[in-house]
Amino acid sequence: MFAERLAAVVDARVRRPRSIVDAAAARAPGTIGERLVLLAADHPARGSLAAGSRPMAMADRGDLLERLCVALARPGVGGVLGTADVLEDLLLLGALDGKVVIGSMNRGGLAGSAFEIDDRFTGYGAEAIAVMGFDGGKMLLRIDPDDPASVSTMEGCARAVDALARRRLMAMVEPFVSHRVDGRVRNQLTPDAMVRAISVASGLGGTSAYTWLKVPVVPEMERVMAASTLPALLLGGEVPADPDAAFEGWRKALRLPTVRGIVAGRSLLYPADDDVAGAVDTAVSLL
C-alpha cells in the first residue's frame, strides 16, 4: 500500500511540481509547545547513510519515508526536521498536517570529506522556510580549533540566526567542539567541550530570542546545561548498543529546567529490533 503512495509522490513530482507548494499552503500548522519530540531526517543530504550496523540504512528513500510516516503518526510526536527533498516528500504524503516542521540549513560538510568542518549552507535559507510556512531552521556548528573553516561556519550560523529571528522563526543550533582523528572528524563529547560549544552557540547573532539548542547527552548534564538559559532539545545520535541505557540518559536529562524535549533520527527510525512505533512510543513516554 505504501508503494502506491510513493508512486503518487513520484507522479506528482513529474507532472505537478506545483503541488508541493500547494500542499505546503494547505497544511495545518503545528505548535511548538512546552515539551517536544521531533524526528530528524536530514542525514542523507550530508552523505551520512549509516544507522547502527547498517552502513546504507538510509539509502532507500521509500523505506525511510515509510518509517517517518509510521513515527509521525504516533501520539505525542510533534514534528520533523529535514532537508527540502524529504520534507516535500512528506508534504505530498500528507504526513505533516498539525506538525512542527524545521528545515535543515547547512549540509555542506559532507561526512568523511576533507572539507567536512566547512559546514556551508547548502540547504534551506530563512526565506524559503518562511515561504513554506515552516516553523524554523536547524544548523550544525562544529568548532575545530585547528581548522580555519570553523570561523566561516560560525559566521554563516550567526547570519542564519539573525535571518530566522527577523521572521520570528526558531533557530535550532547543534554545537560541538570537534577534532580530526586519523583524518576523520570526531565530536568531543566531554562536559567541558560541550560547555564551551554551548557557550559559543548561545552568543551567535544579534539576538538569541528565537534560538534553541540541540545537544547530546553527555556526563554531568546538569553542569553542561547550566552554561546557557536557552531552551534545548536532546540529540538522539546513533543507534545505541544499549537502548535502555540511552532512554535512561534522556529521562534524567529531561528533568533539567532548560531541556524541553528530544530530536532523534536514527535511534528511533532504525532501532535494533526495527520496531519504529515501539521506540517512538518509549521516547514520547519520557516526557
Instruction: Give 249-260 pLDDT, tens digit per residue.
Output: 999 999 999 999
Q: How far, in Å, CA of 282 to CA of 84, rounded?
A: 28
Q: What is the pLDDT of residue 240?
A: 83
One-letter amino acid of 249: G
Give first-to-last CA distance, the chain, whole Å.
33
Helices 84-92 and 2-15, axial angle in degrees (round to 10) = 110
Rounded CA Rg of the chain? 18
Structural contact between residues 180 and 212, judged by C-beta atoms closer than 8 angstroms: no
Report, as ranges of residue numbers, the positions in the chain whose pLDDT lies below 70: none
Query: Distances from the Cα of 155 to the Cαs of 47, 120, 139, 143, 261, in angstroms?
Result: 23, 10, 12, 12, 27
Residue 103 three-state SS: strand
Instruction: Give 101-122 pLDDT, tens digit per residue.
Output: 999 999 999 999 999 999 999 9
Mean of the per-residue pLDDT values for the chain? 96
Instruction: Give 30-81 pLDDT, tens digit per residue.
Output: 999 889 999 999 999 999 999 998 999 999 999 999 999 999 999 999 999 9
Q: What is the pTM of this model?
A: 0.97
Q: What is the pLDDT of residue 277?
A: 98
Strands 184-187, 211-215: pairing kind: unpaired
Cell numbers representing residue 111 in the block? 561526512
Q: What is the pLDDT of residue 241?
A: 81
- Any idea which residue has 512542527 for its cell? 100
**Quick one: which H or E segment has residue 234?**
strand 232-235
- Any idea which residue has 514534528 for its cell? 79
Q: What is the pLDDT of residue 242?
A: 86
Q: What is the pLDDT of residue 239?
A: 84
Domains of the chain, each with CATH number or no CATH: 36-285 (3.20.20.70)
Q: How many CB atoms lie within 10 A of CB 41?
A: 26
